[in-house]
């Protein structure tokens, strides 16, 4: 158990809908990262938050947004969903004080039908 | 920009050594990681190396870093069926709050 909790584990929704994925980082971790893993595209970095502020942005679509709350949990919002958004979405956290690794949650599998 | 590249597939015979290669572009990379993802699971850190090191050994795992060529490799000795997984190379620049960039992953399959 990495200590990073993601909910829900599975999500099935229709095209055009909006969903929210939630991530609770390890206790004390300040940095949260979101990644998308598709079958054919490996692991794509989406966005990083550090202590409530956006720190880095990767290949995140405009239809997607994220935030990190004062209690450090984070949410990834996906809107106007398309079939191609079906993927595993991973959250990772690190302590932001010099730790060398990021700890990953088990992921949320999103299926858009 | 930052980019990490890996070959997509590797097949080895059980008991042989596996060597998974990775190249990266960011010369400011300070930490280089190998993560393992088993089917249906999240990523788990296998090992990491600082950019001022050339080699790191941890039981069956050996990491080699050629900083000049920006080439990283992971050698798994005596490969077992339990080593079947996707292996991700990742880099991280200096600074505790910097982002981590992953390669596309190498799927390692083991032949009997």
pLDDT number for residue B61: 96
Alpha carbons B23 and B72: distance in angstroms, whole number: 6
Mean pLDDT taken over chain A: 91
What pLDDT is attached to residue A55?
Answer: 87
Highest-pLDDT range among A5-14, A35-44, A48-57: A5-14
Over range B17-26, report the average pLDDT.
Answer: 93
Mean pLDDT of the A27-51 span: 87
Q: For residue A15, what pLDDT is reported?
A: 97
Mean pLDDT of A25-41: 88
What are the backbone angles phi and psi of residue B37, rounded to the nearest 5°? -125, 115
3 state DSSP class of A30: coil
Q: Give strand ranges (E) for chain B.
A: 4-6, 9-13, 18-24, 29-37, 43-50, 55-58, 61-66, 71-76, 85-93, 100-102, 106-111
Edge-first strand listing for the sheet containing B18-24: B4-6, B18-24, B71-76, B61-66, B55-58
DSSP A84-102: GG-EEEEEEEE-SSS----
Per-residue pLDDT for A97 more than 60?
no
Of B31, B92, B102, the CB nearest to A43: B102
Please tell me which of the candidates B42, B99, B103 has its beta carbon nearest to residue A107.
B42
State chain B's mean pLDDT as an integer: 90
At A66, the pLDDT band (50, 70, 90 cuts) reads: very high
Chain B: closest CA distance from residue A81 (Å)? 23
* B26 part of contact set with chain A, CB < 8 Å: no
- Structure confidence at residue B6 (pLDDT): 93
Using the Cβ of B102 and the Cβ atoms of chain A, whether some distance falls under 8 Å is answered with yes
Partner-chain contact A102 B100, CB within 8 Å: yes
Quote the DSSP letter at residue A13: E
Mean predicted confidence (pLDDT) in B19-44: 88
pLDDT in tens, A8-32: 999 999 999 999 999 999 998 999 9
Interface of A with B (CB under 8 A): 2, 4, 30-31, 33, 35, 41-43, 45, 48, 50, 55-56, 58, 90, 92, 94-107
Q: How far is B81 from chain A (nearest CA, A)?
A: 22
Look at residue A98 in the predicted model and tell me its pLDDT.
53
- pLDDT at position A11 is 97
Contacts of B7 in chain A (CB under 8 A): none
Task: Output the pLDDT for position A86.
Answer: 96
**How many angstroms separate the CA of residue A80 from the nearest CA in chain B?**
26
**How close, in Å, is residue B77 to chain A by CA atoms?**
24
pLDDT band at B39; cut points 50, 70, 90: confident
């Amino acid at each position: 158990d990495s200590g990073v909790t993601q909910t829900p584990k599975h999500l099935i929704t229709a095209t055009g809908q909006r969903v929210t994925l939630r991530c609770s980082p390890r206790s004390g971790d300040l940095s949260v990262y979101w990644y998308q893993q598709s079958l054919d595209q490996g692991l794509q970095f989406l966005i990083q938050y550090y202590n409530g502020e956006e720190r880095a942005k990767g290949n995140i679509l405009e239809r997607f947004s994220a935030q990190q709350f004062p209690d450090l949990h984070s949410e990834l919002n996906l809107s106007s969903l398309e079939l191609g958004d079906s993927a595993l979405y991973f959250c990772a956290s690190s302590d932001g004080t010099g730790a060398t690794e990021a700890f990953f949650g088990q992921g949320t599998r999103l299926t858009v039908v | 920009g930052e980019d990490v590249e890996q070959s997509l597939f590797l097949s080895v015979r059980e008991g042989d050594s596996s060597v998974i290669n990775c190249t990266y572009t960011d010369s400011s990379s300070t930490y280089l990681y190998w993560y393992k993802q088993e089917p249906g699971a999240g990523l788990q850190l296998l090992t990491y190396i600082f950019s001022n090191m050339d080699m790191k050994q941890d039981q069956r795992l050996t990491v080699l870093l050629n900083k000049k060529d920006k080439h990283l490799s992971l050698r798994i000795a005596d490969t077992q069926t339990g080593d079947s997984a996707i292996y991700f190379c990742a880099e991280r620049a200096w600074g505790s709050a910097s982002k981590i960039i992953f390669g596309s992953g190498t799927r390692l399959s083991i032949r009997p």
